[in-house]
Structure 1
Amino acid sequence: MQIDSNHNYEIYPASFKDSNGDGVGDIPGIISKLDYLHDLGVNVIHICPHYQSPQVDMGYDISDYEDVYRPYGTVDDVQALINETHARGMKINFDLAINHSSGHHQWFLESRSAKDNPKRDWYFWRPAKWDAEGNRQLLNNWRSHFNIPAWTWDEETEEYYLHVDAPEMPDFNWENEETRRAIYNPSMVFWLENKYSKDISFPDADITDLGEVTQPAERHYNNGPRIHKFLGEMKEILIVMFVSSSSGQLNMVFNYVLMSLGQKKEKGQKSRSPFNIPAFKEMSRWQHFASNSVAWVTLFLENHDSPRSISRFRSDASVEMQVTSGKMLAMLMATMTGTLFLYQGQERGIKQCKGDKICLKNELDELWETARDHARLPIQLDSGPNAGFTVKGVKPWMRVNDDWKIQNVEVQSRNPLGLLSFWKRMLKTRQEYKELFVYGSYKSYSTEAEELFVFTKEAGKLKSLTVVNMFGKEQRWEGAAIIFGDNCRILVENIGGGSTRGETLSAWEGRVYITTL
């Protein structure tokens, strides 16, 4: 099932490159770095929302789907980006949020103006409930992703409207066909979250947080009963025309289960669950969906809403560990089946800010450890002022990371043994052996040491074996020969000196073996 062997690179426009000296990244800045991305081995760039927006949620609150947020540029700038991307043989995806609009969108302004407005039903409006004493009550106990009630009272028309995100981001009513058709009309190319279909009986959510007025309600507003109809309509109108002729509703979806590891509190816990290697390995079960032609999968460790993967999944305690463990993760991701996504800076092992130095200063440790602000710091391009993100004397919209003098494109580009060079090698290898690494069938192997992640891939007469030590201490391993015999060779390794026989793997060591059947 060959769908997509592309190497995707997610760009957060505000933090990528400032071309005009106002401290905010922009579209021309992205254009100026396309050669860098092409040289890295990227063939698809994925742009986070660049549309006109009040920026309550950094562009995911869209007030005009057909215009550009002015600090980022103009429609002509976007066309230039498209042209320059295509000129390098690359593709481009635009991230489009369509579960909701901005409260400043003209559609919502009309919907909010009167109960009998033609667009009133384009959003979810409901009357209040009243208790025995005549006090106004919420429609139900749903909690938004912003940890506040998912219903906001509107004084003008005296009804509540639904927002599963911020109050400034009212949800579209996808049950209304006229609304859906209006949403389809703007330039829709890509979307992230399938929250369009909701349980419109609006039942209360199960009580999981005792003593709280609102409760997590994702099961009622994510992937509702009519989501397949809605996605089918999107594919009919848009995807078949612009993206794919294959059957089914979507080419692929993002699976965020891996991203939640070590991030969220489990039921009954007072604090978040720490990251653990067995849970990470268990997530590889999704590989079997692709291998068995059930569904296609995405591969990613970072995005604009997550902390940095080096700090989360492995070690940033020293530059050496940062590079070694970063190479280990690169080998792991580049040899798995699916479509690979990198987030800006991941290819250089950008790590988290530390403690009270992050922009979320003075907050609890758990907050800054899991904050998405880590991923949104300006990209470090060189060792000059502001790490080359913007010109000298201009304050960036968010400060640069502390390690900018050594962890930047200019410095790493000169180091053939660095993580940037290694990612280039892995992307080139993945493309060279794409039938094996992108599309090959996957099989995992259990080992005595749970810190080892071992799996094989097979395609035609080729077979590979990936083994990585995901722990900061050496681990005993039986060796590749126990699976492949002596008929194999090391294709890639991050430390060197490996063999096929039983031996000890150093901290963060990884190898990829290959053989011919």
Structure 2
Amino acid sequence: MERAFWKEAVVYQIYPRSFKDSNGDGIGDLQGICSKLDYLKELGVDVIWLSPVYKSPNDDNGYDISDYYDIMDEFGTMEDWEELLAGLHARGMKLMMDLVVNHSSDEHAWFVESRSSKDNPYRDYYIWHPGKEDGSAPNNWTSFFSGSAWQMDEATGEYYLHLFTKKQPDLNWENPKLRKSVYDMMSFWLDKGVDGFRMDVINLISKVPGLPDDGKEGLSDGSPYYMNGPRIHEFLQEMNAQVLSRYDVMTVGEAPGVTVEEAIHYTGKDRHELQMVFQFEHMDVDSGANSKWDLQPWTLSKLRGVLHKWQTGLAEDGWNSLYLNNHDQPRMVSRFGNDKEYRLESAKMLATLLHTLKGTPYIYQGEELGMTNVKFASIEEYRDVEIHNMYREQVVEGGADPGTILQAIQTKGRDNARTPMQWSAEANAGFTTGTPWIGVNPNYTEINAEEAVADPGSIYHYYRQLIALRKQNPVMVYGDYELIMQDHEQIYAYTRTLAEEKWLIVLNFTGHPVALELPEGLSTEGGDIVIANYPVEGMDSSQLRPFEARVYSLKA
């Protein structure tokens, strides 16, 4: 058992724009976060992951960075950031920054230089191409945000690659000078006291030489040519050798499309790359063949199958990150639970799952309150560039039914996670005294932090219990995971075992009672309830109530 702080930690993600506004401009900021540090300390979390706060024109809400060494004006100043870091460290918490180095903003000084002429020293910091002989784009790759991944730039008459919006040109990692510039920037922040990095789409930085397309007519998914590319491990090992290995830090890489086998290459003990990755396989259990907007009902067997595969696949080498929502995903209680009559129970049940699987749990802001998806009535109320691009492509240009597309957005859109944090029942949920940059979820009068902190039976206090248990019980962190009742259609059940200690976790994923029949050789007789989301009084050992979660410590 190799102990490490990043295995034992619980991480809390802050999306700064939506967390807390201190100056009434309707946009969350660093001083707003500073004002809530005691709330985070009280919750018990160890690490704050801060979504990007660097200077940015905000085409993609801060994921388009124009200056890696400065803070976005809307969020405050470097002094505000330093105050935040000091406040976290004074409370025994760590800060993990977002590292966005697959692309920059087109307003970054590097790109301004790069596009000015073909022989500029910064030209090769980005991926330029003259295009095909007929003048069309170099290949048929699509952008993640709809349309071609190539933009013709009039200044030099060449195309540049942008896997995201056209204001997010991809950096050219084949260029050693670019890589050195990135490593220098990382060292700058680590020297300032940052405790780690969450690396945005880090497995996209190596592209297949020649940038081929698949020969299909029209636009096509180019991911086989840039996901987990040929030099990715070389680049990450170089980054580790030159920067990360010199500090005691936490690293997690966002890695869309990564498999268990590939994840071991990224996170294996002797690989010297990353500590863990965010995989997305369980985020696709309700997506159809076409895209995430192609809504399909998910099943427990499908969700459990994915989670089980990752639990067993990384059991010997590597480490799992555990999450069910973040700034790019809908709210977990609306997606995997029941956000109406069983919101309390299902949010606690899902929390039990997250904190009792093997890996490092990531809490997204408001998750600890059971915040839900928002159902804005019109496309005009949404702010996300991905949503608007998709709506334009499907409805305006494609003639799709607006109601069907709006329903998909209400179910899966990224803005579900980006409505303001619900602090109180006051106007605008106590988020701002001004006009919020995006609408507040109308249910803030019932669902808010003030109410939750005052109510001992709230989701918030259940999270506090789970986090405290993790600190007191190494079995939650290091215990071996074993699936039981593997074909049950309503119950997800497993054990965690460390030395003589054995815990049993049983979770009802449905809104109705389910009989609990444990396999032979496993009994709760004489065992103790460690935590449960219903009162222990009146508990029937042969049946689980709707969305019931129980964790037993079994008799040795």
Question: What TM-score results when the alignment is normalised by the length of structure 2?
Answer: 0.86
Task: Please report how far the alpha carbon of residue 182 of structure 1 lies from its aligned counterpart in structure 2 after TM superposition.
Answer: 0.9
User: How far apart, in 2, do the equivalents of 1:22 and 1:388 lie?
Assistant: 13
User: How far apart, in 2, do the equivalents of 1:277 and 1:428 lie?
Assistant: 28
Q: Report the secondary structure of 2:416's partner residue.
A: helix
User: How far apart, in 2, do the equivalents of 1:446 and 1:217 lie?
Assistant: 39
Residue pair 1:311, 1:351 contacting (<8 A) in 2 also: yes
Residue pair 1:480, 1:513 contacting (<8 A) in 2 also: no
Compared with structure 1, are the counterparts of its residues 498 and 444 closer, same or farther at alpha carbon in structure 2 (3 Å cutoff)?
farther
User: How far apart, in 2, do the equivalents of 1:443 and 1:515 lie?
Assistant: 14
Residue pair 2:485, 2:519 contacting (<8 A) in 1 also: no
Compared with structure 1, are the counterparts of its residues 482 and 505 closer, same or farther at alpha carbon in structure 2 (3 Å cutoff)?
farther
Q: Report the secondary structure of 2:45's partner residue.
A: coil
1:7 matched to 2:10: yes
User: How far apart, in 1, do the equivalents of 2:299 and 2:436 lie?
Assistant: 36
Compared with structure 1, are the counterparts of its residues 148 and 177 closer, same or farther at alpha carbon in structure 2 (3 Å cutoff)?
same
**Of the candidates 193, 196, 217, which is equivalent to residue 205 of structure 2?**
196
Q: Which structure 2 residues correspond to residues 209-220 of structure 1 after superposition, within 5 A?
A: 213-220=218-225
- Select between 282-291 and 479-488 the one with higher mean Cα deviation: 479-488
Residue equivalent to 2:146: 147
Residue equivalent to 1:258: 282
Residue pair 2:328, 2:417 contacting (<8 A) in 1 also: yes
Q: Report the secondary structure of 2:12's partner residue.
A: strand
**Amino acid corresponding to residue 170 of structure 1 in structure 2:** P
Residue equivalent to 2:440: 400
- Select between 162-171 and 382-391 the one with higher mean Cα deviation: 382-391
Residue pair 2:428, 2:440 contacting (<8 A) in 1 also: yes
1:409 matched to 2:410: no
Residue equivalent to 1:332: 353
Task: Please report how far the alpha carbon of residue 500 of structure 1 lies from its aligned counterpart in structure 2 after TM superposition.
Answer: 9.5
1:224 matched to 2:224: no
Task: Please report how far the alpha carbon of residue 357 of structure 1 lies from its aligned counterpart in structure 2 after TM superposition.
Answer: 6.5
Residue equivalent to 1:510: 549
Residue equivalent to 2:494: 455
Report Cα offsets for 1:114-165 as digits up to 9, x if no partner: 111111111111112134xxxx211111001011101110111111110111
Q: Report the secondary structure of 1:80's partner residue.
A: helix
Residue equivalent to 1:72: 75
Residue pair 1:488, 1:500 contacting (<8 A) in 2 also: no
Task: Please report how far the alpha carbon of residue 476 of structure 1 lies from its aligned counterpart in structure 2 after TM superposition.
Answer: 1.5
Task: Please report how far the alpha carbon of residue 483 of structure 1 lies from its aligned counterpart in structure 2 after TM superposition.
Answer: 1.1
User: How far apart, in 1, do the equivalents of 2:410 and 2:293 lie?
Assistant: 17
Residue equivalent to 1:423: 463
User: How far apart, in 2, do the equivalents of 1:380 and 1:427 lie?
Assistant: 21
Report Cα offsets for 1:327-363 as digits up to 9, x if no partner: 1111111111111100000001100113627833965
**Amino acid corresponding to residue 463 of structure 1 in structure 2:** K
Residue pair 1:481, 1:500 contacting (<8 A) in 2 also: no
Compared with structure 1, are the counterparts of its residues 477 and 357 closer, same or farther at alpha carbon in structure 2 (3 Å cutoff)?
farther
Q: Report the secondary structure of 1:95's partner residue.
A: strand
Task: Please report how far the alpha carbon of residue 290 of structure 1 lies from its aligned counterpart in structure 2 after TM superposition.
Answer: 3.9
Report Cα offsets for 1:85-133 as digits up to 9, x if no partner: 00000000110200001000010111101111111111111112134xx
Residue equivalent to 1:89: 92
Task: Please report how far the alpha carbon of residue 268 of structure 1 lies from its aligned counterpart in structure 2 after TM superposition.
Answer: 10
Task: Please report how far the alpha carbon of residue 38 of structure 1 lies from its aligned counterpart in structure 2 after TM superposition.
Answer: 0.6
Compared with structure 1, are the counterparts of its residues 240 and 476 closer, same or farther at alpha carbon in structure 2 (3 Å cutoff)?
same
Residue equivalent to 2:158: 159
Task: Please report how far the alpha carbon of residue 63 of structure 1 lies from its aligned counterpart in structure 2 after TM superposition.
Answer: 0.4
Residue equivalent to 1:443: 482
Task: Please report how far the alpha carbon of residue 270 of structure 1 lies from its aligned counterpart in structure 2 after TM superposition.
Answer: 9.5
Q: Which structure 2 residues correspond to residues 266-415 of structure 1 after superposition, within 5 A?
A: 266=289, 271-284=294-307, 285-292=309-316, 294-318=317-341, 321-354=342-375, 356=377, 359-360=381-382, 363-391=405-433, 394-415=434-455
Task: Please report how far the alpha carbon of residue 364 of structure 1 lies from its aligned counterpart in structure 2 after TM superposition.
Answer: 2.5
**Amino acid corresponding to residue 226 of structure 1 in structure 2:** R
Report Cα offsets for 1:382-423 as digits up to 9, x if no partner: 1111111112xx211111111101111101111111111111
Residue equivalent to 1:242: 247
Compared with structure 1, are the counterparts of its residues 128 and 192 closer, same or farther at alpha carbon in structure 2 (3 Å cutoff)?
closer
**What is the root-mean-square deviation in Å for CA atoms of aligned residues?**
2.1
User: How far apart, in 2, do the equivalents of 1:171 and 1:115 lie?
Assistant: 17
User: How far apart, in 2, do the equivalents of 1:403 and 1:348 lie?
Assistant: 12
Residue pair 2:293, 2:412 contacting (<8 A) in 1 also: no
Q: Report the secondary structure of 2:444's partner residue.
A: coil
Compared with structure 1, are the counterparts of its residues 500 and 243 closer, same or farther at alpha carbon in structure 2 (3 Å cutoff)?
same
Residue equivalent to 1:42: 45
Give unmatched runs, 5+ long, in structure 1.
Answer: none
Residue equivalent to 2:125: 122
Report Cα offsets for 1:165-224 as digits up to 9, x if no partner: 1110000110111111111111364113221101122111375xxxx7211111211110
User: How far apart, in 2, do the equivalents of 1:250 and 1:27 lie?
Assistant: 28
Task: Please report how far the alpha carbon of residue 291 of structure 1 lies from its aligned counterpart in structure 2 after TM superposition.
Answer: 2.8
Residue pair 1:480, 1:501 contacting (<8 A) in 2 also: no
Q: Report the secondary structure of 1:403's partner residue.
A: helix
Compared with structure 1, are the counterparts of its residues 339 and 304 closer, same or farther at alpha carbon in structure 2 (3 Å cutoff)?
same
User: How far apart, in 2, do the equivalents of 1:198 and 1:71 lie?
Assistant: 34
Q: Report the secondary structure of 2:69's partner residue.
A: strand
Residue pair 2:373, 2:410 contacting (<8 A) in 1 also: no
Residue pair 1:474, 1:504 contacting (<8 A) in 2 also: yes
**Of the candidates 503, 507, 515, which is equivalent to residue 476 of structure 1?**
515
Question: What TM-score results when the alignment is normalised by the length of structure 1?
Answer: 0.93
Residue pair 2:102, 2:200 contacting (<8 A) in 1 also: no
Q: Report the secondary structure of 1:467's partner residue.
A: strand
Compared with structure 1, are the counterparts of its residues 488 and 365 closer, same or farther at alpha carbon in structure 2 (3 Å cutoff)?
same
Task: Please report how far the alpha carbon of residue 480 of structure 1 lies from its aligned counterpart in structure 2 after TM superposition.
Answer: 8.0
Residue equivalent to 1:185: 184
Compared with structure 1, are the counterparts of its residues 109 and 268 closer, same or farther at alpha carbon in structure 2 (3 Å cutoff)?
closer
Number of residue-to-residue matches in the alignment: 502
Compared with structure 1, are the counterparts of its residues 312 and 236 closer, same or farther at alpha carbon in structure 2 (3 Å cutoff)?
same
- Select between 477-486 and 418-427 the one with higher mean Cα deviation: 477-486
Q: Report the secondary structure of 1:198's partner residue.
A: coil
